[in-house]
Amino acid sequence: MILGMSTSTFTLFHVLLSLTGIATGFVVVFGLLNRRTLNGWTAIFLTTTILTSVTGFFFPFHQVTPGIILGVLSLIVLAFTLAALYAFHLSGAWRNTYVISAIVALYFNCFVAVVQSFEKVPALHALAPTQKEAPFLAAQLILLAFFAFLGTLTVKKFRQPAALVARA
């Protein structure tokens, strides 16, 4: 039992939070690419992404794992995202800090989704049972390259504050 739920129910809750964070994260990035903050979507993205990291710590573990380290890093990145958006209102350098940290937080969620896919989807697991094989490494490299491109493009597009239009 974890937080009064069976482990399988808690795992489903954690996965749904993660998938919601990923989906809403892409909506938020689409808004940024169009020089818009989407306040409602952003709130859902940040909340579910934070909860994904936090709920990850409730799973039983006996030592520090890569997942625990990534969860800590994600929360640190999200602290910058929250500060840039809500404390500094995207002023000055905080504008780029927001975009970069939001993209990194989304990347971390997607990184874990790829890891979990290779662990849980039988066809992918057969291709890379130890996650040290070329298909897994290629998937993660493609994901990293995609997010590097997306982050660079989003920073460039969202640079101009005059075009900012807040929408829900």
pLDDT at position 167 is: 55
Average pLDDT over residues 31-50: 96
pTM recorded for the entire structure: 0.91
Closest Cα to residue 78, out of 114, 113, 42?
Answer: 42
Q: How far apart are CA 145 and CA 88, in angstroms?
A: 29
| Range in 32-41, 59-68, 114-123, 150-159 the model is least confident about | 59-68
pLDDT band with cut points at 50, 70 and 90 for residue 2: confident
pLDDT tens-place string over residues 93-105: 999 999 999 999 9
pLDDT at position 163 is: 45
